[in-house]
Structure 1
């Protein structure tokens, strides 16, 4: 997930109703807030010749015609009352938020739409310990014989050293604010871009973090409702209070809200949009989660977010638990550790609560999805499944895919065009633009009618064994289902996926390559594998890689996927494996859009444990693949015509 901006200290606010942890003395805070709320009564606003009293649009974009001087802006601090009591103190939680708006909203009757970012990271983070991943896999006994736990969570003494501001999005800086209102600001991101164009900006701290009440729950319903409450307040449906306890009304806004953010900050827009809240007109989720199960699990397997082996929902909640009271949420976080189930990896009611796909039918906000094609923290499935569901329901949608990893916002012009259309309601025709904007491998930006590319077709490839551990052949067409043709993998997690993909021979992987491509072949969508495997033991990881081999045989992993064969029937329940019995495993790799250059070979590599992502059991597990009954499905633009012929 995206990491916090700068950490800050806390001091108690006036004791009218403790809204959370404020950051300065009561007297100074009260004076600052009073000044902001009275429209700068202490310092009369100077007259500005020919100042605009409304937005100006040109070429479909809101123009920066308002002041860019922070001293001309009004800043307010509020605590918004929610409908939940997640810290169980007998009072509804309150969300700490700050508003930055133009002086004209006080002096000239300007009504501004709002660009809103919610985050659990503004107050920094705590030192946390990830779970141990070096242990045996869970092995259920057959029905009637009980259940045997051969794995389970163990605390790792190593500290998870997170990045700080690398994934924080938006323009602006954390420079000291010279304008009116509370000091220092929660964040100044987005202000430099949007206030000069007539928007207001709101930053809010997620429940359990910073100055907010409540408890962090890593995507739980309370966090959704906490972030939603700010939209409700901006539309007159919720109450907010200043540090003195006085009610504050948002009379300066149109009520039209656009949420934006990266990673956790981008996940909250998805969550809030899934409530169907009125007034949320647009969202821009960047590297965002649509289902938390798919962040920490994959097809029943316990799988890490890239770079954070052993992290899970409880660890992340502990990391962002930065409110002043550090004891009140202990029971909640302990409950997360139990409910997340690092033993079986099964889907459950816990994960179902954190699956925003369940409520995608309620989304009406226009959605501009942005994601890195090489993001292995929040993986591309999160964007692809969300986008596909929105598309199917006719929600206004657009997708931006780039060649980077975690984070990466569309350009200001792309965002401006989106927010201008849906927040200012200015008819700039954005809904008629091509739906997909993709940064190609050479860094050029290319538009496509839609994503995945409408010209892609699922192309089935079969596997022909190699000899003595060398790569076999990947060819178009369905396999001939004759007698089983078996190849064996011996698990050795000390060999990384990159090492195994590049190995000329190895007993620890199976590899299959196409003939050299005559022309470039573009993948657009979700690759899948259908494997027939038997196991020498009751538990094993199964990993599939899609690989690009250049003319020199150098391997580049394009995408990958994982499964727990115990979940072959359902992610909801583990079913025992009988050693020696063959099972069909059908699972997806992470979606991608990738061009294999002419002269390269498309490769598929199969292995068991994946050092950087899966649980890491002791070496030696045996997997036997029936190549005659196993296939790979690739979404290729042009279908099988993009590949050399089977006899080529």
Structure 2
């Protein structure tokens, strides 16, 4: 039997691949077993904490969906049930325990082992993945030193490669097969000579290749100054939000219709709004937009969500990207600085449109910690101006 097995495969040159849970497990296995020479991890996690607890905010829809899927397809153990229950209940007394649990199960914590093994790693994800957002994959990719490839496409969790699971034509799986053929069979099919970062914009067709992740948004930045002080009350959903887990980004993938909001009609008592002038030329947003601002709370705990919109002539904003942020233990009335990375994306803003940053405090995707009656003030001190920096790609 061993001879038969060796006749059809080399036990010292194993390839593993998976989607979602299978992707994360494939990466973890590759870090701990040097026989695995190539891995394809699609719509997975590299950093479990950053995936569902970014900005110190519970991604409650994502976590609830993961928990429900686990119960439908498996038998979660008592440890997982307890951790997930504490997470969804926002039990801050167990926050560090939950973070430690997530880190232990994060491939990013074992990247040195992957690099020592020389494993060839291909990562694929969707820009709008509401379960495992793209930022954590991009950061992980940059830490890999062996053969590597990173692909980002429009869509949500597993939707970019979903049709390929049924045997239908699919770019993701075509490239996965090429990856295995090159790094397991030694076929010279060109996959390792292409630019290692391949992305597709949410606004256009065709792929863009880059030498590394940092090059994606290397053509400059569009900086939107957040000069005016904005004061808002918390606890109200203004209509600006990130959509619905799995559904909204899938709709964007197939129809190019992302979550939208009428920016002029947003209630200014509950939403802070800053807009650019009309853009004289197209802006190709590529990479990770970053918010820098100063916040003064009236309570020690709170949550806000920042949204970047593409605003057309009629004031309808199409969501470009967003991210949540939660704080605890702050002194009421004392300002503090916030630096927040929004979720990475590729989106083309047409000439004549505006960029708008909107901040409110309630989004169904996330838990929120705003006590009743709490207020937030966003300011731009002269010595430390507030802004959102938007990375741009070449035309």
TM-score range normalised by the length of the shorter chain? 0.7 to 0.9
Q: Which moved more, 1:345-354 or 1:519-528?
A: 345-354
1:633 partnered with 2:389: yes
Contact 1:297/1:304 (<8 A) preserved? no
Deviations 1:366-403 (A, max 9, x none): 1111111122222112322221222xxx2211122111
Residue 17 of structure 2 is matched in structure 1 by 260
* Structure 2, unpaired ranges of 5+: 162-170, 242-258
Residue aligning to 1:436:
197
- The structure 2 residue matched to 1:497, chosen from 240, 256, 262, is 240
Q: Which residue of 2 aligns with 1:511?
A: 273
Query: Cα 1:520–1:286, aligned 2, differ >3 Å: closer, same or farther?
Result: same
1:287, 1:383 within 8 Å by CA — same for their partners in 2?
no
List per-residue Cα deviations over 1:136-168 (Å, max 9, x = no partner).
xxxxxxxxxxxxxxxxxxxxxxxxxxxxxxxxx
For the pair 1:343 / 2:91, whether they are aligned, the reply is yes
How far off its partner does 1:334 sit?
4.8
Q: Is the 8 A contact 1:534 1:581 kept in 2?
A: yes
Correspondent of 1:272 among 16, 23, 29: 29
Contact kept in structure 1, 2:291 and 2:341, CA below 8 Å: yes
Deviation for aligned residue 1:464: 3.0
Contact 2:52 2:131 in 1 (8 A): no
Query: How far is the alpha carbon of 1:616 from its aligned partner?
Result: 6.9
Q: Is the 8 A contact 1:296 1:312 kept in 2?
A: no
- Counterpart contact for 1:257–1:279, Cα < 8 Å: yes
- 2:280 match: secondary structure: coil
TM normalised by structure 1 equals 0.50
Report the TM-score, using the length of structure 2 for normalisation.
0.80
Higher-helix-fraction structure = 2
For the residues of structure 2 that align with 1:263 and 1:425, how far apart are their CA atoms?
27
The equivalent position to 2:226 in structure 1, one of 446, 457, 463, is 463
Question: Partner of 2:281: helix, strand, or coil?
Answer: coil
1:111 alignment partner in structure 2: 8
From 20, 41, 44, the equivalent of 1:285 is 41
Native 8 Å contact 1:259 1:283 kept in 2: yes
Unaligned runs of 5+ in 1: 1-36, 40-104, 113-252, 323-328, 466-485, 567-575, 643-648
- The question of 1:621 aligning with 2:369 is answered no
Which structure is larger by alpha-carbon Rg, 1 or 2?
1
Indicate if the aligned counterparts of 1:456 and 1:524 stay in contact, CA closer than 8 A.
no
Q: Given that residues 230 and 378 in structure 2 are in contact (C-alpha distance below 8 angstroms), is that contact kept between their aligned partners in structure 1?
A: yes
Is the partner of 2:12 in helix, strand or coil? strand
The question of whether the paired residues in 1 share the 8 Å contact of 2:16 and 2:38 is answered with yes
Matches within 5 A, 1:258-337: 258-275=15-32, 277-306=33-62, 310=64, 318-322=71-75, 331-337=78-84
Match in the other structure for 2:164: none
1:590 aligns with 2:343: yes
CA distance in 1, matches of 2:204, 2:174: 21
Residue by residue over 1:510-542, the C-alpha shift from the partner in whole angstroms, topping out at 9 and shown as x without a partner, is: 111222222221222211111111111222102
* CA distance, structure 2, for counterparts of residue 458 and residue 362 of structure 1: 35
- CA change 1:319–1:336 in 2 (3 A) is farther
**8 Å Cα contact 2:263-2:311 kept in structure 1:** no
Post-superposition offset of 1:336: 2.8
- CA shift, 1:439, in A, is 2.2
* Residues 1:376 and 1:412: Cα distance change in structure 2 (over 3 Å): closer
State how far apart, in whole Å, the 2-side matches of 1:436 and 1:500 are.
29
1:376 counterpart (130, 133, 151):
130
* Residue of structure 2 aligned with 1:581, choices 322, 329, 334: 334
**Counterpart of 1:426?**
187
The verdict on how the C-alpha distance between 1:261 and 1:586 changes in structure 2, with shifts beyond 3 A counting, is same
